[in-house]
């Protein structure tokens, strides 16, 4: 498992994180847009582009929350079958209303990202946006992503890494740890939830280490890209295609 300091760990992390997201669900989308100054839309666009690059037909968005990324994956792709899964029912209720308003073909399921309720090799692409650091066992989540992907499939992980170094990183760390919890608390009515956000990001592995963890989970090719000067990071990991069966060797007569 990833190591994390006490501020971002809990003996029953899964249950406490689920309760936190259920509590902030009604104001979650507004808070995201304000706190990121709208940059979250561009980050999700980058994740969608990476997921669609190989022309998948069956896609799964894990920790889908209010379904923003699942809806973005489905938008303009009527041939796609998109599912979202999350363990926070209140977040999914918001997502279901958004899916209904959009008239999108997106199915939303209740489920745990570390124990996905799907058969092996069910999807061509798996995505997750800002959810992996909330898992009680992120390594188990990565192994589940690999398990449900078909040969030739792709996982796309969008996440907040620890703040970058340098002057920008120092300024962002100040915003992240001092301003964001106050502003997020005012918008959502739950300051503790937005104090958890920077604590969980600073406890998360840096991008190069996460790439190594993805390889350890069974992915063959992993590349990562910093977004907005390193505020977010996009990891793209591919599964090797199935090896074509060779014809039996013909022995000379």
Query: Domains in the chain: how many in total?
Result: 1
* Tokens 């973005």 belong to residue: 72
Q: How distant, in Å, are the alpha carbons of 127, 154, 157, 217 from that of 214? A: 13, 12, 10, 5
- pLDDT, tens only, 172-207: 888 888 888 888 888 778 888 888 888 888 899 999
Q: Is residue 174 in a domain?
A: yes
Q: Distance between alpha carbon 228 and the CA centroid of its chain, in Å?
A: 17
Residue 244 domain-assigned? no
Strand 123-129 and strand 58-62: the pairing is: parallel
Tokens of residue 145, six digits: 């992503």
% of the chain with per-residue pLDDT over 70:
91
In a domain, 247, yes or no: no
The neighbour count for residue 135, using CB atoms within 10 Å, is 24
Contact 164, 172 (CB under 8 A): yes
What's the domain range around 110?
6-238
Centroid of chain to Cα 9: 19
Helix (H/G/I), strand (E/B), else coil: 5: coil
DSSP-derived pairing of the beta strands 123-129 and 106-110: unpaired
Kindly report the pTM of this predicted structure. Answer: 0.85
CATH of the domain at 121: 3.40.50.150
Determine the average pLDDT of the residues in 26-39.
77
Assess whether pLDDT exceeds 80 at residue 104.
Answer: yes
């Amino acid at each position: 498992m990833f190591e994390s300091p006490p501020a971002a760990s809990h003996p029953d992390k899964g249950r406490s994180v689920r309760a936190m997201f259920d509590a902030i669900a009604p104001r979650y989308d507004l808070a995201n847009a304000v706190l990121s100054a709208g940059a979250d839309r561009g980050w999700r666009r980058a994740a969608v582009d990476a997921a669609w690059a190989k022309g998948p037909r069956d896609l799964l968005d894990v920790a889908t929350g209010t379904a923003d990324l699942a809806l973005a994956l489905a938008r303009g792709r009527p041939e796609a079958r998109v599912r979202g899964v999350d363990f926070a029912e209140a977040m999914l209720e918001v997502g279901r209303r958004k899916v209904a308003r959009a008239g999108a073909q997106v199915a939303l399921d209740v489920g745990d990202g570390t124990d996905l309720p799907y058969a092996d090799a069910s999807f061509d692409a798996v995505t997750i946006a800002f959810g992996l650091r909330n898992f009680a066992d992120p390594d188990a989540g990565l192994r589940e992503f690999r398990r449900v992907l078909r040969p030739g499939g792709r996982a796309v992980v969008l996440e907040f890494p620890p703040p970058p170094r340098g002057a920008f990183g120092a300024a962002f760390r100040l915003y992240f740890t001092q301003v964001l919890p106050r502003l997020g608390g005012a918008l959502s009515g739950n300051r503790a939830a937005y104090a958890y956000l920077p604590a969980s990001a600073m406890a998360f592995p840096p991008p190069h280490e996460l790439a190594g963890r993805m390889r350890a989970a069974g992915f063959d090719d992993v590349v990562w890209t910093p977004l907005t000067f390193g505020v977010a990071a996009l990891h793209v990991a591919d599964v090797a295609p199935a090896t074509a069966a060779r014809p039996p060797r013909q022995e000379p007569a």
